[in-house]
Amino acid sequence: MSDSTSAPGGPAVPASIDRTDDRPVYVIGGGPAGLAAAAALREQGVRAVVLEKSDSVATSWRRHYDRLHLHTIRRWSALPGLAMPRRFGRWVSRDDMVRYLEKYAEHHELEVVTGVEVSRVDRAADGSGWQLSATGGRVLTGRAVVVATGFNHTPRIPEWSGRAGFTGDLVHAAEYRAPAPYAGKDVLVVGIGNTGAEIAVDLVEGGASRVRISVRTTPHLVRRSTAGWPAQATAVLVRRLPVRLVDRAGSLLARVAVPDLSAQGLPRPDTGLYSRVKEGAIPVQDVGLIDAVKRGRVVPVAAVESFEEDTVVLADGSRITPDAVIAATGYRRALEGLVGHLGVLDSRGRPVVHGSRTPEQAPGLYFTGFTNPISGMLREIALDARRIAGRLKG
């Protein structure tokens, strides 16, 4: 573990960062949300110190699967104060995103301390700030705290009956990197969000002998772009419109742009696109799944109910015996230990506020990067950063 480090090319941060003479704003997390918040604060003349538990910024991005590209366009994925290079292309790759975040920390000369994990946030004894308990017995006190530990923090695999006794290979999508280990194998992908859909296509293109995708709720499928017009642009335009109006428009567009895959086991959803978004379900942007399903290369099957040795039992009663199961079943925010005692989380463990708003019972405590809006998470992160900095400028 490192007590003192700096962003590449940035100023060294003293090991005695737990001194509270100048009462900085502490930012927990060195991913896009944390770096954006710190840069926006620095621009406003507010000292911000980023605390990152791993040994570098952008750790979660380094762990994503190899073929990952952003589903949001380059221009609307940049963080405050630094554009993404045109050479990255319209859809930025995982590796380029990591390079960008490294450069971002360097460009803004951010104070980034790695190897420091914050375990608990409490009000300071005098009530005028916040106290952070961190590794190594550190107790840090700041004027405010920005929690930016990430939307995809802790992998979640359902407690399926018989899961522990499954004799095949079972991993969470967080462990998936590339299709090579699955070449020639029968693979079941569980979950048809953007991650599951893209992994299924990757497996097909990488030589898996058979790929099935388990579907509990049929998703809305949208083209990433149509005639050069990105889906994100449409999302930005309609975000403030009435939900019912967007649902109707989305249904009409889907019937024009997306073929009916009912015969292949993927019927059109029975609820509106924007209604689903409001419930937390983001549409699946097509990166090859529609064609793969249409051609029978990826076969939708029912939801997983349980495991029995080498067998997966599905909700419709059918039984299959894949060689491997990849669970694209989402993540937990894992904020309970950090701030759960403050009454700032809802029943699903999500912050009750985000951006420039702070909980009534916890003024000075901010959250960013925990929403996934239809208009793009990185765009929302950039907006949140500016708003938080504006609130803390004084």
One domain for residues 37 and 110: yes
Q: What is the pLDDT of residue 278?
A: 86
For the stretch 301-354, pLDDT in tens is: 999 999 999 999 999 999 999 999 999 999 999 999 999 999 999 999 999 999
One domain for residues 310 and 162: yes
Task: Select from 312, 327, 342 the last residue of a domain.
Answer: 327
For the stretch 62-105, pLDDT in tens is: 999 999 999 999 999 999 999 999 999 999 999 999 999 999 99
Output the pTM of the full model.
0.90
Q: Sign (positive/negative) of CA torsion 123, 129, 132, 137? A: negative
169 or 14, which is more confident?
A: 169
One domain for residues 295 and 161: yes
Q: What is the pLDDT of residue 92?
A: 97
Q: Report how far residue 347's alpha carbon sits from residue 152's, in angstroms, rounded to the nearest whole number.
A: 18
User: Confidence class of residue 394 from pLDDT cuts 50, 70 and 90?
Assistant: low
- pLDDT at 8 > cutoff 60: no
- Between the CA atoms of 240, 241, 247 and 252, what dihedral angle is there, to the nearest 10 degrees? -120
For the stretch 229-284, pLDDT in tens is: 999 999 999 988 999 999 999 999 899 999 999 999 999 999 999 999 888 888 99
One domain for residues 280 and 211: yes
Task: Select from 271, 293, 327 the last residue of a domain.
Answer: 327
Three-state SS at 7: coil
Q: What is the pLDDT of residue 153?
A: 87
In a domain, residue 4? The reply is no
Q: What is the pLDDT of residue 165?
A: 96
- pLDDT at 16 > cutoff 70: no
Percent of the chain topping pLDDT 70: 94
Range of the domain at 385: 25-153+333-392
Name which of 17-21, 54-58, 152-156, 207-211 the model is least confident about.
17-21
What average pLDDT does range 165-178 have in this prediction? 97
Percent of the chain topping pLDDT 90: 86
What average pLDDT does range 38-60 have in this prediction? 96
For every residue of 174-185, DSSP letters joined together read: GG---SGGGTT-
In a domain, residue 18? The reply is no
349 or 14, which is more confident?
A: 349
Using only C-alpha atoms, what is the Rg of the chain? 22
Q: Report how far residue 280's alpha carbon sits from residue 276's, in angstroms, rounded to the nearest whole number.
A: 6
Rounded to the nearest 10 degrees, what angle do helices 32-43 and 377-392 cross at?
A: 30
Q: Report how far residue 385's alpha carbon sits from residue 362's, in angstroms, rounded to the nearest whole number.
A: 19
One domain for residues 142 and 184: no
- pLDDT at 162 > cutoff 80: yes
In a domain, residue 44? The reply is yes
- CATH number for the domain harbouring residue 97: 3.50.50.60
One domain for residues 239 and 254: yes
Task: Select from 327, 351, 376 the last residue of a domain.
Answer: 327
Other beta carbons within 10 Å of 157: 16
Long-range contacts (CB closer than 8 Å, 24 or more residues apart) made by 248-251: 248/272, 250/220, 250/274
One domain for residues 208 and 128: no
Q: What is the pLDDT of residue 45?
A: 94
Task: Decide: 325 and 144 in contact? Cβ < 8 Å.
Answer: no
**Can you tell me which residue has the tokens 């608990």?**
120
In a domain, residue 255? The reply is yes
CA 374 and chain centroid, separation: 13
One domain for residues 297 and 184: yes
- pLDDT at 12 > cutoff 60: no
**Can you tell me which residue has the tokens 């590209």?**
69
Q: How many domains does the chain have?
A: 2
